[in-house]
Chain A
Amino acid sequence: MGYKISLDDMNLALEELSKDYMIYAPKVFEGEGKFSDTDLIRYGEVEGLEEIVFDEKSDYSFKEALTPISEVLFYFTEDEIKEADKPDRGALIFLRSCDLHSLKRLDEIYLNNGYEDYYYKRLRENTKFILMGCQKSFENCFCVSMGTNKIDSYDSYIKLEGDTVYIDNKCEDLDKVFRKADIQEVDVKPDFVEENDIKVSIPDNLSLDVMDAKMWEEYASRCIACGRCNFVCPTCTCFTMQDVYYTDNGKVGERRRVWASCHVDGYTDMAGGHSYRKDNGQRMRFKTLHKVYDYNKRFGYHMCTGCGRCDDICPEYISFSNCVNRLEDAMKEVE
């Protein structure tokens, strides 16, 4: 159902929705870029539509709204374990097509792969997804190559044009709220990009043999193992458990999980000190193959959704899309 309403009415609707939902969207965090006098665009709660950054890509993805960077699982004492409370409201998340495709990847791991993740599910089932259109492809995007440039599985599509808000709504709960405004029914079609400057091709014959290709050696000297590519990635889901103790005997405290990165030291450390993939080039190989090879082998579609944030953020200018495009030659080399 397509309609348009005024920005003021939209903001009134958001105000009403904020009683039941935390409204997450990409917004500017002034002065929070890593360099002085630079800003950061990441997800945070917004009150009005004009706070949302529509015309730039966010540095970090929406995933922190569903998989918090640091999340308490439960509190423990000598006698009992108390599950951490869930938020008292659901969530409304503004995101682009590539990110909505990424949601399927998060669901795959957290809801389907083996056991169901209780904490993810309880956030996920109370979340609605608002699609933001892309009028143009941003730098480093390669969604078209990954087939993630279009999507229709949104609850609502919202576009701000001047003081007018165009909505394509598919959700009854939201419809009830939007309809309180003075609406005018119009045909609304989401803006999707049809082409990116960056294109990737994943060789059909890609196999684990590519592990032995020379290309990874270059990344061994370039990658600094900071993990930024993983942390900004909308599809990376790894975490590490941490027990924090409030008492010296270690019997009272909390257990939480925090994001983990397969590039960062310690990712494979086992008790006793043994670890795997000490070489940063092999970490690059591990991540790359997960994104465009072995995830597909397990689940039937590629993990990478082509948002290009990993390229945007890498302080060493390592381009993931470039790496993927080198796989074809690498396969020729090892075959």
Chain B
Amino acid sequence: MGKNEYIPFKSEIKEVIKHTDIEYTFRMTYEGDVKPGQFFEVSIPKYGEAPISVSGIGDGTVDLTIRRVGKVTNEIFEHYVGDTMLLRGPYGNGFDLDLYKGKEIIVIAGGTGLSPVKGIVDYFHANPDEANSFTLIAGFKSVNDIIFKDDIERWKENMNVVITVDKDADKTCKLGLVTAHIPDLVIKNIENTVAIVVGPQIMMDCSVEELFQLGVIEENIWISQERKMCCGIGKCGHCKIDDVYICLDGPVFNYTKGKLLRD
């Protein structure tokens, strides 16, 4: 018999980072290959499993940033350093960093959509020589909703970082939608430009439209999709769209494929 992929493993909480009242990052022990954009199925006592994307990759750890939405992910906040959680994964294809190396990279994230791309930003922050340029545009509802604040300050050292909020901007951010900042991007070689867009569907659609205006071709755009995923391994069917299983074939899609996904 092959491996029983449904049996979760124990992972220890090494650190808990509170971003906002409802968003926490749990730094979990994990040995093994994992890519930004992949996800783990996390067992949450008194609820069940929820797919949580990897928001950071460390030495023997993975970060799981969890938003307290509905009853799904509430219980998880009762966990503290030293506790264990049950995980399965990592699942999904994740982002292939090699595709972005040597390019002018634009990352556009909306809200918690910053989680799945945070590993990409971290990587090119640590390896600035591997990108021709790097821009992050991240949008949030308000200043209080901004996650990864410390990381953002760190990224600003060697990257072009634009943070936007829908209302009540302060000195750290700008007012308005992420899409407003796409036309202003300074790009040297549009053919050597790649864009990664993750967030709510409407935000992704509008951002891609702006990128097209800029001259970025769809082959150079990647998005990440979020759907109900019970199993994460191509069995339960909930995440299927057309002939695509988000959990197996995604959640990261080149836009040439991603644009075809209609639920």
* Interface status of B153 (Cβ within 8 A of chain A): no
Interface residue stretch chosen among A130-138, A145-153, A219-227, A237-245? A237-245
Asked whether, in the complex, the Cβ of A260 is within 8 Å of the Cβ of B227, the reply is no
B234's partner among A113, A119, A243, A270 (CB-CB below 8 A) is: A113
B21 within 8 A of A: no
Interface size class of B (residues with CB under 8 A): 35 or more
Interface residue from A239, A245, A251 paired with B237 (Cβ < 8 Å): A239
Contact with B along A289-315 (1 / 0, CB 8 A): 110001101100000000000000000
Given A118-B1, A251-B45, A271-B73, decide whether A110 and B6 contact each other with a Cβ distance below 8 A.
no
With A241-B231, A242-B48: A290-B238 Cβ-Cβ less than 8 Å:
no
Residues of A with C-beta under 8 A to B1 = 118, 121-122
Inter-chain CA distance A113–B245, complex, in Å, is 9
Cβ of B69 < 8 Å from any Cβ of A?
Answer: yes
Q: Shortest Cβ distance from A207 into chain B, in angstroms? A: 10
- In the docked arrangement, what's the CA distance between A104 and B234, Å? 16
Chain A residues within 8 Å of B243, by CB? 294-295, 297-298
State whether A116 and B2 are in contact (beta carbons under 8 Å apart), knowing that A109-B234, A239-B235 are contacts in the complex: yes
Residues 40-76 (chain A) with a chain B CB within 8 angstroms: 73-74, 76
Q: Select from chain B the residue with minimum beta-carbon distance to A74.
A: B7
Chain A residues within an 8 Å CB radius of B238: 238, 240, 260, 267-268
Kindly report which residue of chain A lies nearest to residue B261, judged by CB atoms: A208
Give chain B residues whose Cβ lies under 8 Å from the Cβ of A271: 50, 69-70, 72-73
Q: Which one of A22-30, A160-168, A272-280, A323-331 contacts B?
A: A272-280
Sorting the interface of chain A by its residue count into under 10, 10 to 19, 20 to 34 or 35 or more gives: 35 or more
Give the complex CA separation of A113 and B5 in angstroms: 13
B3 within 8 A of A: yes
B233 within 8 A of A: yes
A115 touches B5 (CB 8 A): yes
Q: Chain B: which residue is nearest A240 at the CB level? A: B230
Chain A 75-89, CB-CB to B under 8 Å as 1, else 0, gives 010000101000000
Given contacts A243-B48, A257-B236, A294-B242, contact A250 B75 (CB under 8 A): yes
Q: Write the nearest CB–CB distance from A211 to chain B, whole angstroms.
A: 6
Contact status of A241 and B235, CB under 8 A, knowing A272-B69, A273-B70 = no
CA distance A240 to B72 in the complex (A): 14
B6 touches A250 (CB 8 A): no
Q: How far is the CA of A135 from the CA of B104 in the complex (A)?
A: 68
Q: Residue on A with the closest CB to B47?
A: A243
Specify the chain A residue showing the minimal Cβ separation from B48: A243
Interface residues as binary, B27-51 with A (CB distance below 8 Å gives 1, 0 otherwise): 0000000000000000101111110
- Taking a contact as CB atoms under 8 Å apart, the answer to whether A208 and B248 are in contact is no
A297 CA / B260 CA spacing, docked (Å) = 14
- Known: A239-B237, A270-B228, A272-B70. Is A114-B242 also a contact (CB below 8 A)? no
Q: Which of B67, B69, B236 contacts A260 (CB 8 A)?
A: B236
B118 at the binding interface (Cβ < 8 Å):
no
**Chain B, range 127-169, C-beta contacts under 8 Å to A:** none
How far apart are A63's CB and chain B's nearest CB, in angstroms?
14
Residue from B49, B67, B248 within 8 A of A241 (CB atoms): B49
Chain B 57-96 per-residue mask, 1 if CB under 8 angstroms from chain A, else 0: 0000000000101101101000000000010000000000
Please tell me if the beta carbons of A83 and B7 are within 8 angstroms of each other in the complex: yes
Within 8 A of A (CB), among B1-17: 1-8
Q: Please name all residues of chain A whose beta carbon is closer than 8 Å to the beta carbon of B122 when the two chains form the complex.
A: none
Select from chain A the residue with minimum beta-carbon distance to B75: A250
**Quick one: given A113-B248, A267-B228, A276-B263, are A241 and B70 in contact (CB under 8 Å)?**
no
Docked complex Cα distance between A245 and B47 (Å)? 9
- B237 touching A114, Cβ below 8 Å: no
Q: Other than the known A110-B235, A208-B242, what 18 A-B pairs have Cβ atoms closer than 8 Å?
A: A81-B7, A113-B245, A115-B233, A116-B2, A116-B3, A118-B1, A118-B4, A118-B5, A119-B6, A237-B235, A240-B238, A245-B46, A249-B45, A251-B45, A255-B48, A269-B228, A272-B72, A289-B242
In the assembled complex, 20 residue pairs joining A and B whose CB atoms fall closer than 8 Å, in A order, are A73-B7, A83-B7, A109-B234, A109-B235, A114-B233, A114-B245, A119-B6, A239-B237, A242-B48, A243-B48, A249-B45, A249-B46, A257-B236, A267-B238, A268-B238, A268-B263, A270-B226, A271-B50, A272-B69, A286-B263
Interface residue ranges, A against B (CB under 8 Å): 73-74, 76, 81, 83, 109-110, 113-119, 121-122, 208, 211, 237-243, 245, 249-251, 255, 257, 260, 262, 267-273, 276-277, 286, 289-290, 294-295, 297-298
